[in-house]
Amino acid sequence: MENKAASASRWVEQSKLLWSRLQTASVIEAAALAAAYKMCMDRRRCLQILVLALGMVLLLLVFFLMKRDAEWLDAFHEAAGDCLPKVKELFWGLKGRCIGYIAVFTLIIADFGWICCIIKNL
């Protein structure tokens, strides 16, 4: 039982880590958009594209870290057995982590859209 309780505790910590990655993604996106706006005001279109592309790369890294966290969560959940409750899936069978993935990919797609608009207006 002690091993299951330790796995449950690890699951809770890993869950916090996964959701903190989503906060990190928000900060990265805000910084990329603020820097891109500043570059736009200074008429530095190439730097604006570079900043948004860098933001996309960093968001992609956050996504892969979230995927890795999810693998650890699944392993700890399996090891914890019945120490963790079974929860219902949220919307249309999606788990909370899938909604987090969608949020990060939405930010990546938004950055890509901004880059396309900038290139179109060069």
Whether the predicted model's global pTM rises above the 0.75 cut = yes
What CA–CA distance (Å, rounded) separates 88 from 33? 36
Question: What is the pLDDT, as a whole number, of residue 2?
Answer: 60
CA nearest neighbour of 81 among 17, 16, 7, 10? 7
- pLDDT (0 to 100) of residue 50: 95
pLDDT tens for residues 76-115?
Answer: 888 888 777 777 766 777 777 888 999 999 999 999 999 9
Predicted pLDDT at 26: 95
Average pLDDT of the segment spanning 27-41: 93
Domain count, the chain: 1
Range of the structural domain that residue 55 is part of:
2-83+91-120
Q: How far is CA 72 from CA 29, 67, 81, in A?
A: 26, 9, 14
Sequence-distant (≥ 6) Cβ neighbours of residue 16 within 8 angstroms = none
Distance of alpha carbon 111 from alpha carbon 107, whole angstroms: 6
* Average pLDDT of the residues of the chain: 89
Rg (CA), the chain: 19
Give the confidence band of 37 by pLDDT, cuts at 50, 70, 90: very high
Which residue pairs from 29-38 have beta carbons closer than 8 angstroms and sit at least 24 positions apart in sequence?
29/55, 29/59, 29/107, 29/110, 29/111, 31/55, 32/58, 32/111, 36/114
Please say if the pLDDT value at position 1 is more than 70: no
